[in-house]
Amino acid sequence: MEGTIYSIIPALIMLVLVITTRKILLSLGSGIIIGALFIHDFNVLQAVKEIWYVFYEIFVSEGAPNTGNIQLIGFLLLLGIMTAFLQASGGSRAFGDWMMKRVKTRRGAQLMTGVLGLIIFIDDYFNSLAVGQIARPLTDRHKVSRAKLAYYIDSTSAPITVISPISSWGAYIIGILGGLFAANEITEYQPIEAFIWMIPMNFYAIAAVLLVFIVAYFQFNIGPMRTHEKRAMETGELLNPEQNTVAGDLGDVFKPNQNGKVYHLFIPILVLFVATVVAMITTGIQATDGNATILDAFANTDVNKSLAIGGILAVLTAFIFHLVQGKPKANSMKIFVEGTKTMLPAIYILILAWMIGSVIGTLETGTYLANLVNDSSIGVSYLPLIFFVIAAIMALSTGSSWGTFGIMLPIAAEVMSNTNIELLLPALAAVLAGAVFGDHCSPISDTTILSSTGAGANHIDHVLTQLPYAILAAVVAILGFLLLGLTGQIMLSLAVTLVFLFGIVFVYRTVLKSKTAE
């Protein structure tokens, strides 16, 4: 069944179960079991061995510890502990009080969250978790639902890093482009030049980021988000009361220290930011034997190790603040334990997401989808649009933008270099855009999981509330790629994309107002 149409069945079953049952662990577990059975032709014993093997490989790979995964899990635990200290110290409450005096409206709180997402562009993981820590005290005070906060975080993480050359994503993509251009003897562009040219062609990323600010400024609440926002504003309930699997939320476990100051929150987060960025640059330089530009450093950085280093230093900083605070204050051991417990739901989801990603990889789902492009006889002008759609489906199924980049960018480069070199960059940009769109829709995406974790939102609530916005941005992006393929005009296609985005929002708001008036 590997590499055939049957390879997409486990992913489809998992996605259907997520939407119908809203039970993420059950859905992921079902997909893993069905996929393992498919791999071994329904031999139950071999399927059980396969499930154990993919679980074991998360922690041990080729006889050695899988340090990357272990470090990311460790960072999540450190983040939970840091969050517990920030709350117990009274830093979160003090920051909320301080910001309430300066940001006095719900609109302002939401716009500030969007701006933070633009500023923290170094890495999507770091963006997802850091923005949540900074913005959550303020958005909570202004009764912004956690689902909306998760949407803001998710839609300003990957979309920003994928169009930023100085980021882990940008450096990774530029590195891939260099290899592709050499392999296909493409001399028209240098990798960094090609990346910069592709920025205005990434219609989905641009539309997704712009939509964040439209939603924040105009209170453009559509689909399930309307329910979450209405409940938050009317009752003050920021979470869906029917959902109790929420990562990163301590509720009323600790009574904030009455001596809490703004710097009790701000300095640990600043330490996290500075230490992580310095570690990313340092590990990147070390990987290139000390001969590296800033771009080379980000291309070769060890993100998970850097996050772990930043997390350790941030927790130590928060712990020291806690030790020197006046009494009464919470027990330190209880803070460590409760902070760790808050991250367990996210870690369970992440581990199962990695497992189903491995199973889907063995089934060669991505290879099957990629072959659909090579075997098609569609006109060259439509290829950017087709690459967008296929990349989106692949990222949705596998939960991996980077995996999609690795499979689809070489295919796009090979196809376009042999058909129409003028559409090479539009096709590559379409792959990047489609991968981010699929990532936004996928419940097994790392970034989606970490965004809900950073916001302290229920994971499925985040997936379902973000989906209408992601689809809206994708619809206008499709129009843009269709026009770009037919005309080759970048700015015209971008302008049409944005005009349609504003047009749809305007029409929706007009219809909604007329219905409300009736």
Domain ranges of the chain: 5-240+260-516
Which is higher by pLDDT, 396 or 296? 396
Region 195-217: mean pLDDT is: 94
Of 22-31, 164-173, 378-387, 483-492, least confident by mean pLDDT is 164-173
Q: Are 454 and 128 in contact (CB under 8 A)?
A: yes
In this model, does residue 314 exceed pLDDT 60? yes
Q: What is the mean predicted confidence (pLDDT) over 384-396? A: 89
Q: Is the pLDDT of residue 292 over 70?
A: no
Q: Is the pLDDT of residue 176 over 90?
A: no
What does the pLDDT average to over 61-69? 83
Residue 299 in tokens: 């291309």
Listed residue (454, 487, 462, 460) closest to 79, CA to CA: 454
What's the gap between Cα 190 and its chain centre? 28
Helices 262-287 and 67-88, packing angle to 10 deg: 160
> What's residue 390's pLDDT?
87
- As a whole number of angstroms, the distance between CA 30 and CA 32 comes to 5
Position 48 scores a pLDDT of 93
Alpha-carbon distance values, 382 to 86, 376, 425, 487 (Å)? 52, 11, 14, 11
Express each pLDDT in 101-113 by its tens digit: 888 899 999 999 9
**pLDDT of residue 247 exceeding 60:** no
Identify which has the larger pLDDT, 329 or 308: 308
pLDDT, residue 455, reads 87
pLDDT (0 to 100) of residue 245: 55
Q: Which of 190, 186, 188, 192 is nearest to 164 (CA)?
A: 192
Burial class (CB in 10 A: 0-12, 13-18, 19+), 100: middle
CB distance 117 to 99 below 8 Å: no
List CB contacts of 142: < 8 A, sequence separation 6 or more: 100, 103, 105, 106, 109, 110
pLDDT for 108: 92
Task: Give the model's pLDDT for residue 503.
Answer: 93
Q: Which tens digits make up the pLDDT trace of 470-500?
A: 999 999 999 999 999 999 899 999 999 999 9
What pLDDT score does 253 carry? 60
pLDDT score, position 484: 93
Q: Which residues contact 219 (CB under 8 A, 6 or more apart)?
A: 106, 107, 229
Residue 469 to residue 476: CA distance in whole angstroms: 11
* Residue 447 to residue 469: CA distance in whole angstroms: 16
What per-residue confidence (pLDDT) applies to 423?
87
Element (H, E) at 128: helix 124-141
Using 50, 70 and 90 to split pLDDT, how confident is the model at 254? low
- What is the average pLDDT score of the chain? 83
Highest mean pLDDT, choosing among 114-123, 214-223, 301-310, 331-340: 214-223
Lowest-pLDDT choice from 46-60, 138-152, 416-430, 502-516: 502-516
